[in-house]
Structure 1
Amino acid sequence: MKVSVSPSPRRHAPGIDPGRWPDVATLPPASRLRTAVAERIVRHALARLPLRARITGGADLGLGGPLMEIHDPAAFFRRVGAGGLIGFGESYMAGEWDAPDLVGAVSVLARHAASLVPGPLQRLRGTWAPRQPAGQLGTPESARSNISHHYDLSNELFALFLDETLTYSAAVFRGFPAAPAQLPAAQHRKIDRLLDLAAVGAGTELLEIGTGWGELAIRAAARGARVVTVTLSREQRALARARIRAAGFADRVDVRLCDYRQITGVYDAVVSVEMIEAVGASFWPVYFRTLEERLAPGGRIALQAITMPDDRMRASRDTYTWIQKYIFPGGLLPSTEAIERTVDEHTALRIEHRICFGMHYAETLRLWRERFEERIDETGALGFDATFRRMWRLYLAYSEAGFRAGYLDVQQLVLTRPREEAAR
Structure 2
Amino acid sequence: MTQPSTRPTARTSTAPVPSAPRHHPDPQRWPDVATVPTSAVRALVARALLRSVARRVGLRVELPDGGLLTRTAPPDGAPVLRLRDPDAFFHRLGAGGLIGFGESYQAEEWDSPDLIAMLTALASSAQTLVPPRLQWLRRWFTARQPLEQLGTPENARRNIQSHYDLSNDLFALFLDPTMTYSSAVFPSDPGGEPLASWELLERAQHRKIDRLLDLAGVRRGSRVLEIGTGWGELALRAAARGAEVVTLTLSEEQKQLAEQRIAEAGHAALVDVRLCDYRSATGSYDAVVSVEMVEAVGRRYWPAYFSTLDRVLAPGGRIALQAITMPHDRMLASEHTFTWIQKYIFPGGLLPSVEAVQETLAAHTGLQLTERQGYGRHYAETLRLWRERFAARAGEVDALGFDGVFRRMWSLYLGYSEAGFRSGYLDVQQLLLTRTGEDQQR
Fold match (TM-score > 0.5):
yes
Residue matched to 2:12: none
Is 2:35 the counterpart of 1:26? Answer: yes
Alignment correspondent of 1:188: 206
- For the 8 Å contact 1:266–1:296, the answer to whether it is kept is yes
Q: Aligned partner of 1:87: which letter?
A: G
Q: Is the 8 A contact 1:14 1:25 kept in 2?
A: no
Correspondence for 1:170: 183
- C-alpha distance in 2, partners of 1:385/1:128? 28
Residue in 2 aligned with 1:63?
74
- Could you tell me how far 1:35 is from its partner in structure 2? 1.5
* Residues in 1 aligned to 2:159 and 2:135: alpha-carbon distance in whole angstroms: 28
* Matching residue's letter, 1:352: T
Matches within 5 A, 1:243-392: 243-392=261-410
Aligned partners of 1:49 and 1:63 also within 8 Å: no
Does residue 169 of structure 2 align to residue 161 of structure 1? no
Alpha-carbon distance between aligned partners in 1 of 2:139 and 2:363, rounded to the nearest angstrom = 27
Ranges in structure 1 where 5+ consecutive residues have no aligned partner: none
Distance between the aligned counterparts of 2:2 and 2:415, measured in 1?
Answer: 32
Contact 2:94-2:141 within 8 A present in 1 as well: no
Per the alignment, in what secondary structure is the counterpart of residue 17 of structure 1? Answer: coil
CA offsets per residue over residues 343-391 of structure 1, 9 Å max, x none? 1111110111001110000010011111111111101110100000000
Tell me which amino acid in the other structure corresponds to 2:172. Answer: A
1:217 match:
235
Aligned to 2:252: 234
Number of aligned residues: 412
Q: Describe the SS at the equivalent of 2:36.
A: coil
- Say whether the 8 Å CA contact 1:297–1:418 is kept in structure 2: no
Shift in Å at residue 245 of structure 1?
A: 0.3
Cα distance per residue 1:158-187 (max 9 Å; x no partner): 000000000000000003342211000000
CA distance in 2, matches of 1:63, 1:127: 29
Do structure 1's residue 53 and structure 2's residue 61 form an aligned pair? Answer: yes
Deviation at 1:48, TM superposition (A): 2.1
1:32 CA drift (Å): 1.8
User: C-alpha deviations, 1:68-126, integer Å up to 9, x for none?
Assistant: 10111111000000000000000000000001111111000000111111213324534
- Checking the alignment, whether the CA contact within 8 Å between 2:358 and 2:368 is kept in structure 1 is no
Residues 158/34 of structure 1: CA separation in 2 closer, same or farther (3 Å cut)? same
What is the TM-score with the length of structure 2 in the denominator? 0.91
Residue type at the aligned position of 2:327: P
Contact 2:3 2:87 in 1 (8 A): no
Taking the aligned partners of 1:154 and 1:380, their CA distance within structure 2 comes to 13
Q: How do 1:99-118 and structure 2 match up within 5 A?
A: 99-118=112-131
Aligned 1:147-158 pairs, distance under 5 A: 147-158=160-171
Distance apart, 1:336 and its partner CA: 1.1
Supply the distance in 1 between the matched residues of 2:36 and 2:227 (Cα, whole angstroms). Answer: 40
Q: Could you tell me how far apart the structure 2 residues matched to 1:335 and 1:41 are?
A: 28
**CA apart distance, 1:59:** 2.3
Are the aligned partners of 2:187 and 2:195 in contact in 1 as well (CA < 8 Å)? Answer: no
1:140 to 153, 169, 194: 153
Give 1:256 deviation, angstroms. 0.2
Equivalent residue for 2:108? Answer: 95
Which of 19, 38, 44 is matched with 2:52 structurally?
44
Equivalences for residues 387-398 of structure 1 within 5 A = 387-398=405-416
Kindly state the Cα deviation for residue 329 of structure 1 after the two structures are TM-superposed: 0.4
For 2:60 and 2:177, the matched residues in 1 are separated by 39
**Comparing 138-147 with 110-119, which one deviates more in the overlay?**
110-119
> Residues 226 and 109 of structure 1: is their aligned pair in 2 closer, same or farther, counting only changes over 3 Å?
same
Q: Name the stretch that deviates more: 96-105 or 58-67.
A: 58-67
For residues 138 and 309 of structure 2, what CA distance do their matches in structure 1 show? Answer: 34
Q: Is the 8 A contact 2:51 2:69 kept in 1?
A: no
> Equivalent residue for 2:90?
77
Structure 1 residues 6 and 314, CA gap change in structure 2 (3 angstroms) = farther
Separation (CA, whole Å) in 2 of partners of 1:229 and 1:196? 18
1:16 partnered with 2:34: no
Which SS does the other structure have where 1:188 is aligned?
helix
- SS at the partner of 1:174? coil
Aligned-pair identity (%): 63
Q: What code does the residue aligned with 1:158 have?
A: F
Counterpart in the other structure of 2:143: 130
Equivalent residues of 1:171, 1:183 under 8 A apart? yes
Q: Is residue 2:424 matched to residue 1:406? A: yes
**Alpha-carbon distance in structure 1 between the residues aligned to 2:162 and 2:74:** 40
- SS of residue matched to 1:362: helix
Q: Secondary structure of the equivalent of 1:224?
A: coil
Q: Is the 8 A contact 1:230 1:258 kept in 2?
A: yes
